[in-house]
Amino acid sequence: MDHPAIGEAVTETEIEQALQSDCDCKDGMFPQGKMGTASRRAFLRGSGLLTAAAAIVPVKAFGQDAAGEGPWSVPGEIAKSDYGQRASFETVKRLASFGGTSSLTPLQAGVGIITPSRLHFERHHNGVPTIDPAQHRLVIHGMVDKPMKYSVEDLKRFPSTSRILFVECSGNSNAASRSANQKTVQEAHGLTSTSEWTGVRLSTLLAQVGVKDGAAWVLAEGSDGAMLSRSVPIDKMLDDAIVAYAQNGEAIRPENGYPMRLILPGWEGNINVKWLRRLKIGDKPFMTREETSKYTDLMTTTGKARQFSWVMEAKSVITFPSGDMRLPGKGFYEISGLAWSGRAPIERVEVSTDGGKSWGLASLQEPVLPKAHVRFRFPWHWDGGEAVLESRATDQTGYVQPTKAFLTRNEGVGPTYHYNGIQSWKVLADGSVSNVLQA
């Protein structure tokens, strides 16, 4: 594909001047004794004859120094960083919401599928506890032959598993179901993230304690102030549940459950109990607050509420372009976004630029992992007119991400949880992008 509008033409003369201003060398070669000022300084500094501090000189852009004013390259400091930092020019950050009880992932700035641990969304019901991993224990009891408690070190002794998985708060984008007040994709959809989680399979732990006949449910309880607890069918625990102690190759972050949390692939965030301290095996659900007064889905069409609606259904959202951005001008843009399903791998993602009248197939970034964010991309030539951008995910069960209209018809004004309606971004002629409610 040709993109003539991108970039700036340059001449060999300009390039040669810039190179000369940089040093007496060409094509990156440094013949003995022919290094120019910049390179000689760099050489001395590299050998430690100048202090590292003095060495930090922001690099000049190519062309700026065609007049020979200064180096196009820049000697650096000898890094002594044992735990790196991002560049000082970078300012992407999470956004606190719900009175600071959650922080939203900046999806608009994301690329690929991995969410940096520092930007993974968080939601807590009574703050983030400070837990000494040497003191923490996980207890497994109830309908078992042998009640046991395990330290973090104990868990690391067991066979381990790692999976790249999304975790999404069941309340993610619920406000989007009723209004377009949330300007950005971070505000509207920032309660979902993807990490590589590592830990021990719960099936391995349950084999140790010996589950009694008739066991059907497991109470999972956190050691945070809220002692958040949920009931989990034992079948899910035996299928693919993980007690995770690591996230993206290092210890789980405090706000994500340090030193250990439950991971239930594809299920709503709150049941992936963080700061996990106790698993009690029983024969019926424990009917905790979080599954009775909270986290049930009221269907205003029938007046009834869904309970134990754990699975996050197929969903997608365009992250570029998205709300509060401004396109610099007409021409080529790559529409990009994320799709995920808690039920089955993503089968396809379709993109519309005319508010859902017509759809085209997006390309999916390989590998397409089950129960993980999938990055989709769709080439778009913006003609400068008004456009409404939408994405629609379908998973391998054949389930198609619904419209808001469909959900309203079937569930009413919209439950507080599990909203997965299609998101619409409107592009105006001036290039501004805004959140609009789909009809």
Query: Interaction with a copy of itself in 63-82: which residues (CB under 8 A)?
Result: 63-64, 72-82
Question: 95 to each of 35, 118, 189, 316, how far by Cα in Å?
Answer: 48, 12, 12, 21
Other CB atoms within a 10 A radius of the CB of residue 343 amount to: 15
The separation between the first and the last C-alpha atoms of the chain, rounded to the nearest angstrom, is 35
Cα-only R_g, the chain: 27
* Distance (Å, whole) CA 374 – CA 233: 27
Q: Is residue 198 at the binding interface for a copy of itself, with CB under 8 A as the rule?
A: yes
Strand 297-299 and strand 304-306: the pairing is: antiparallel
Give the range of 178-186, 202-210, 300-308, 386-394 binding a copy of itself by CB under 8 A: 202-210
- Facing residues of 281 across strands? 142, 218
Question: One symbol per residue from 153 to 192: x for binding a copy of itself (CB under 8 A), - otherwise; what is it?
Answer: -x--xxxxxx------------------------------
**Within positions 351 to 390, which residues make up the interface with a copy of itself, using CB under 8 A?**
365, 367, 369, 375, 377, 379
Return the number of the residue (87 or 439) whose C-beta is nearest a copy of itself: 87
Within 329-395, strands assigned E span 331-340, 346-352, 360-361, 363-364, 374-382, 387-395
* Residue 426 parent element (H or E): strand 424-427
Return the number of the residue (375 or 404) whose C-beta is nearest a copy of itself: 375
Count of residues that bind a copy of itself according to CB under 8 A? 151
Other CB atoms within a 10 A radius of the CB of residue 179 amount to: 10
**Within positions 394 to 423, which residues make up the interface with a copy of itself, using CB under 8 A?**
none
Q: Is residue 90 at the binding interface for a copy of itself, with CB under 8 A as the rule?
A: yes
Return the number of the residue (233 or 412) whose C-beta is nearest a copy of itself: 233
Question: 328 to each of 43, 132, 382, 427, how far by Cα in Å?
Answer: 42, 50, 11, 12
Decide if 200 contacts 242 (C-beta within 8 A). yes
Q: Is residue 54 at the binding interface for a copy of itself, with CB under 8 A as the rule?
A: no
Smallest distance, Å, CB 139 to a copy of itself?
6
Smallest distance, Å, CB 209 to a copy of itself?
9
Q: Is residue 312 at the binding interface for a copy of itself, with CB under 8 A as the rule?
A: no
Q: Is residue 280 at the binding interface for a copy of itself, with CB under 8 A as the rule?
A: yes
Return the number of the residue (259 or 323) whose C-beta is nearest a copy of itself: 259
The encoded tokens of residue 90 equal 């970078």
Return the number of the residue (141 or 178) whose C-beta is nearest a copy of itself: 141
The encoded tokens of residue 312 equal 């996050």
**Within positions 218 to 257, which residues make up the interface with a copy of itself, using CB under 8 A?**
219, 221-229, 246, 248-251, 253-255
* Structure-token match 């405090």, residue found: 254
Q: Is residue 145 at the binding interface for a copy of itself, with CB under 8 A as the rule?
A: no
Smallest distance, Å, CB 172 to a copy of itself?
18
**Within positions 96 to 125, which residues make up the interface with a copy of itself, using CB under 8 A?**
96, 99-101, 103, 109-120, 122, 124-125
The encoded tokens of residue 132 equal 């000494």
